[in-house]
Structure 1
Amino acid sequence: MSSWLGPLAVALVIVWIGVRHARASRSETLLDEHARRRVEPRAGAAPAPLSVWREANRMFRAGEEEGLLLLAEIGRQVPRRRQAVVTAWLAALRGGVSRGLDAPWRTAVQRELVSHLRPGADFWPGMDVVAPGAILVDLDLSGCRVNQVDLMGAVFVGDARFEAMTVTGDANFAGARFLRHAVFSEALFARSVSFGLAVFAGNVSLRSAQVADQLVFARAKVSGRADLRRAEVSGRADFRHVRFGGRALFGEVVFHQDAWFRHAWFRGRTDVGSALIGEAAEFGSARFGRRVMQ
């Protein structure tokens, strides 16, 4: 009896081990196939959305126009990605010359950006424009409608145009350098706007602009003409220590609250004719290089 039970038991063990090895091998094969399908889509199949996003960003960072256009298409197809697309474009504009982003490339990025910030068929509402320290070439955001704007310390090469722009959040241009003219005529700022410590190499215009909260120009320097005619500021207006190199035009401006001009220096002709100040107007230690027209 025992003479055949032993070999039978051994045979059964060998069969059992073989079955286990076969099953394990098949499981590993299935797992490998599953992993391969996840990372290598079938021919003709659309890549996963995450893969498209990563590839678009990679091409865009490499300075390829196809990446710029692919990001725009992602924004059109997936609205929740729009702010991320805008942020990616603005990040490129914050890069220095060492990244190889020359003026034509910056202009192309700005053109695509503006096409989605200006109301129209391809408008993306509610976008934040946050790009402190960006280098912007002939930027024209005229007629655009955005939420928050943070261009603190940005450098504007060429003219910077913001005519009839609407900003529903705070706007910050503090410390920015405008190397030519800056035009904010008829712009609407639904909250506060700051140009503190900004440098204007040319003219700056806020003619007929509206500011629903405070306007800050403290310690700014304007080499050309400053035109605030018919502007309206609902909050406090702070022009302390501002240097006006050219004419300073405040005709028919309306300041609903305090207007501070302490230590301001008006080197050119100053016109405050028909200006309305709702509360206190302070000109302590202000200097006037030429006559003041009232």
Structure 2
Amino acid sequence: MSSWLMPVAVAVVIVWIGVRHVRASRSETLLDEHARRRVGPQAGAVPAPLSVWREANRLFRAGEEEGLLLLAEIGRQAPRRRQAVVTSWLAALRGGVSMGLDAPWRTAVQRELVSHLRPGADFWPGMDVVAPGAILVDFDLSGCRVNRVDLVGAVFLGDARFEAMTVTGDANFAGARFLRHAVFTDALFAKSASFGLAVFAGNVSLRSAQVADQLVFARAKVSGRADLRRAEVSGRADFRHVRFGGRALFGDVVFHQDAWFRHAWFRGRTDVGSALIGEAAEFGNARFGRRVMQ
């Protein structure tokens, strides 16, 4: 390389780093000024530096939309903060009606959450949805792509919708209670999906869903219709001790490995027409209350 090219290359790199630093500083300054304007200096006191993160959470917990939007802006500017922002939003949603969240506020929080979990211009990849024991109202993550889901013991008021959702990590709904319909139609679980001990007061649909590892429904209770038509499970499918109160539809389902139905109770009509089971199918001590269509 010519002797004059080296200084030029160094200068270009220095300028590029400087521009990035200026842009980052400008964003932080705007957020800091916003927070200071919200609080205001005390009379006769010198304004102290204020944590934008703390102020955003304070406003958000107070139910102010400005806090919601400020948290979203922090997530855009600082990717390392995104999971914490998502966790804050889930914390607001998880209280359901017990936290006194009115419908417009809950809808606004959920809309902002979904806008960053659904692939698009403002998508935040790799987010975990962790809210065990939550009380969630009309929860809808349809079309979202997330990493891990932990909703163990959650209570879903209204319909719970996860249509065409993609979960790249494990999905755990063990012990959850769905007080209306649960919709997982066309969902993709890249690892395991667990609904063990879950209670479905309405219908549950995994129609055309795909599970790359095991699917666990052991000891779940389904009062309405269970629709697994055209679902595909690559790992073991565990339906032991499940109580199907309504119709159980397994038409064209594909179980690549074992499918266990020991002690399962099919009270409604059962349809297993065209079902494919790659290895063993176990129905020991299973009970059928009505006609089985094969």
Smaller-chain TM-score range?
A: 0.7 to 0.9
Question: What's the offset of the Cα at 1:29?
Answer: 27
Partner deviation per Cα, 1:213-270 (whole Å, 9 max, x = no partner): 0000011111110000010000000001111010000001010111111111000000
Measured at CA, do residues 165 and 5 of structure 1 come closer, stay the same or move farther in structure 2, by a change above 3 Å? closer
Most deviating of 56-65 and 21-30: 21-30
CA contact (8 A) 2:35 2:50 kept: no
For 2:124 and 2:15, the matched residues in 1 are separated by 67
For 1:140 and 1:89, the matched residues in 2 are separated by 14
Question: What's the offset of the Cα at 1:100?
Answer: 2.8
Measured at CA, do residues 18 and 285 of structure 1 come closer, stay the same or move farther in structure 2, by a change above 3 Å? closer
For 1:287 and 1:92, the matched residues in 2 are separated by 43
CA contact (8 A) 2:95 2:136 kept: no
Partner deviation per Cα, 1:147-169 (whole Å, 9 max, x = no partner): 00011111111111111110000
Measured at CA, do residues 89 and 28 of structure 1 come closer, stay the same or move farther in structure 2, by a change above 3 Å? closer
For 1:175 and 1:133, the matched residues in 2 are separated by 9
For 1:251 and 1:21, the matched residues in 2 are separated by 59
Name which one, 1 or 2, has greater alpha-carbon Rg: 1
Most deviating of 185-194 and 128-137: 128-137
CA contact (8 A) 1:107 1:137 kept: no
For 2:12 and 2:203, the matched residues in 1 are separated by 95
Measured at CA, do residues 47 and 274 of structure 1 come closer, stay the same or move farther in structure 2, by a change above 3 Å? farther
For 1:287 and 1:48, the matched residues in 2 are separated by 70
Question: What's the offset of the Cα at 1:101?
Answer: 2.5
Partner deviation per Cα, 1:58-92 (whole Å, 9 max, x = no partner): 11112222111110111111111111100111122
Alignment RMSD: 14.0
Question: What's the offset of the Cα at 1:193?
Answer: 0.4
Question: What's the offset of the Cα at 1:128?
Answer: 0.4
For 1:99 and 1:285, the matched residues in 2 are separated by 45
Question: What's the offset of the Cα at 1:99?
Answer: 3.4
For 2:106 and 2:258, the matched residues in 1 are separated by 40
For 1:231 and 1:12, the matched residues in 2 are separated by 55
Q: State the identity as a percent.
A: 93
Question: What's the offset of the Cα at 1:13?
Answer: 58
Most deviating of 280-289 and 132-141: 132-141
Question: What's the offset of the Cα at 1:24?
Answer: 38
Provide structure 1 residue ranges, at least 5 long, that are not aligned to the other structure.
none
What is the DSSP-based 3-state SS (H/G/I as helix, E as strand, rest coil) of the residue aligned with 1:263? Answer: coil
Question: What's the offset of the Cα at 1:212?
Answer: 0.3
For 2:285 and 2:130, the matched residues in 1 are separated by 36
Aligned residues: 294
Q: Could you tell me which residue of structure 2 aligns to residue 238 of structure 1? A: 238
What TM-score comes out, normalization by structure 1 length?
Answer: 0.82
Measured at CA, do residues 64 and 250 of structure 1 come closer, stay the same or move farther in structure 2, by a change above 3 Å? same
Give 4+ residue runs of structure 1 displaced > 6 Å after superposition. Answer: 1-50
Most deviating of 42-51 and 68-77: 42-51
CA contact (8 A) 1:204 1:222 kept: yes
